[in-house]
Structure 1
């Protein structure tokens, strides 16, 4: 691998609080570990830091080899703050008063360390420490439903949204916690490493990707993925990685290591749609991104999205959107203005 081909390193710092919820750490970081294996463009490098080198956990296991809270964080870092358990299993060791001292050290460190260029991610009740540090003031955010009132007290200037899996507002990302931390990190991986990588990680973890609660409709990138059939996932991964390719049922069947007839049957059974419909959904999603994110004319959009002509794009578009492409672009422009 040449110097130009070296992967971009993304430093990830995981703050380990007292009584840390292990699933809040293991779930999201397992997403990053697997993402490192699914693509070569990015490498997530993880460092665990905290006020003490050893800490108790929610399930009674001790967590050790924790590094000290660093004086500063490099630009482009992801800072992950997991939650804590109120009643750990087989609790031993530090008292709540001692835990409060360590939590105060984390809050003070967050207040002086987090700055623009650092992407902050809280899992579950980790939002409470972030709120106490003032990191959520003026931001949309969420937390576990049991902690909503506590967060309102800790961060009265935050805009707290209930009934959300996760919320992204600028460089502040917060989640409802526990398994929702996996959803949030899959979202981060999709943004940074691409949809195909996130989908492959989700399949490996035997979970399916969900959207944030604020989104009114399921994303076309995620629709039809709530299954665990490997052949269908292989075909869907191939389309997600290169939607504009000329994907015939036969070509996709080769990628899925099955016959065209069997692939058609499997798609209808497990994805709830035909192979052609799935490919068109992906291409329409690409076309929408081009329409709202560029000034390309409709002919160029159709070509770059894999359609043979603007007429073919409009025909496929009309199956999924009530407004035509031109009206969609006008609506997005007005909303942005």
Structure 2
């Protein structure tokens, strides 16, 4: 029996919040039936493209449905429209079905704000895009908002950081509902080789320490990110950046607040975690990521826990 997936469509819907998860579910079409619903028959997306064929909001949804709320390009404005208000009232009517677990609610990016306005987030562990976290906390003071998470699940309510993390969440749901083989086939078809888990940070080591403008550090980061498993020495890294080892050490501490060694270790740890998610054993994952042994990988995990 197929699972019905209902995408709620608002003007200004973020295209990737919609199409990323939708493509993932569509690639598992033998398991899912997709529907696009909303108060208007067509909407303009964040890219200016118009999507039609949208059917009216149904009075109720079949048990076992996934209800997906994508984000919008400007949630400060587009969640205060008559269309958003119509959806808010509709969500409020569905609240008992969500609380009973008859319907699973899936919020992508700022879609969690709309769910919060409908009263669906009280007492719920949830997350959203890092730029929207403060507004989610204000919209749902009773919610348990988790910072820096890819996605969170609490009693059938799923929330994600949005954009590409919507794909991560869709793959996770496919894995849960259809099994690992189907999820892996979809990931391969989408060329999404490394599925992130809900516990992964929104700002991975590849992005977290990039908020600076120093060219030498960027050169080093590009070098290490491209091949973290290589047998790097501090001297070799510094030579590639055309600075001395001592100067590079000072630059990393000054601009990033972290040592070169610790930065490289975080890249390797993130790569090892990705390998483990793919099903590799601990020894193979450690070797692939550049650790000398599973023990070294374990110690690296301990240092960041």
Could you say which residue in structure 1 is the equivalent of 2:178? 193
Corresponding position of 2:118: 133
Q: Pairwise mapping of residues 1-337 of structure 1 onto structure 2 (< 5 A)? A: 8-36=1-29, 43-86=31-74, 100-114=81-95, 115=97, 116=100, 117-207=102-192, 208-213=194-199, 223-224=275-276
**Whole-Å Cα distance in 2 between the matches of residues 271 and 203 of structure 1?**
20
Out of 116-125 and 201-210, give the one that drifted further. Answer: 201-210
**Contact 1:224 1:272 (C-alpha < 8 Å) held by counterparts:** no
SS in 1 for 2:275: coil
Instruction: Return the TM-score normalized by structure 1.
Output: 0.59
Secondary structure at the aligned position of 1:35 is classed as coil
Q: How many angstroms does 1:225 deviate by?
A: 6.3
- Distance between the aligned counterparts of 2:124 and 2:177, measured in 1? 22
Q: Quick one: distance in 1 between partners of 2:183 and 2:12?
A: 30
Q: Which runs of 5+ in 2 are unaligned?
A: 202-268, 300-305
Deviation at 1:191, TM superposition (A): 0.5
How far the C-alpha of 1:79 sits from its partner, in A, is: 0.3
Shift of 1:20: 0.3
CA contact 1:55–1:62 (8 Å) conserved in 2: yes
Question: Is the 2:79–2:114 Cα contact (8 Å) retained in structure 1?
Answer: no
Tell whether the 8 Å contact from 1:175 to 1:181 is kept in structure 2 after alignment: yes
Change (3 A) 1:99 1:151: closer
Structure 1 position 202, deviation (Å):
1.1
Give the deviation of 1:214 after TM superposition: 6.2
CA apart distance, 1:205: 1.0
Contact kept? 1:224, 1:271, Cα under 8 Å: no
SS in structure 2 at match of 1:68? coil
CA displacement at 1:82 relative to structure 2 = 0.2
Post-superposition Cα deviations, 1:241-262, rounded to whole Å, max 9, x if no partner, equal xxxxxxxxxxxxxxxxxxxxxx
Q: Is the 1:11–1:78 Cα contact (8 Å) retained in structure 2?
A: yes
Distance 1:147 1:98, change over 3 A: closer
CA distance in structure 1 between the partners assigned to 2:12 and 2:45 by the alignment: 4
5+ long unaligned stretches in structure 1: 1-7, 37-41, 88-95, 227-235, 241-266, 274-317, 323-337
TM-score (norm. length: structure 2): 0.65
After TM superposition, what 4+ stretches of structure 1 lie above 6 angstroms from structure 2? 267-270
Q: Give the CA deviation at 1:137.
A: 0.8
Distance 1:224 1:152 in 2: 33
Structure 1 position 213, deviation (Å): 2.2
State the alpha-carbon separation in 2 of the partners of residues 221 and 97 from structure 1.
38
Aligned residues: 222
In the TM superposition, residue 97 of structure 1 has moved relative to its aligned partner by 8.1
Within 1, Cα distance between the matches of 2:2 and 2:188? Answer: 24
Residue 223 of structure 1 deviates from its aligned partner by: 2.8
**How far apart, CA to CA, are the structure 2 residues paired with 1:160 and 1:146?**
13
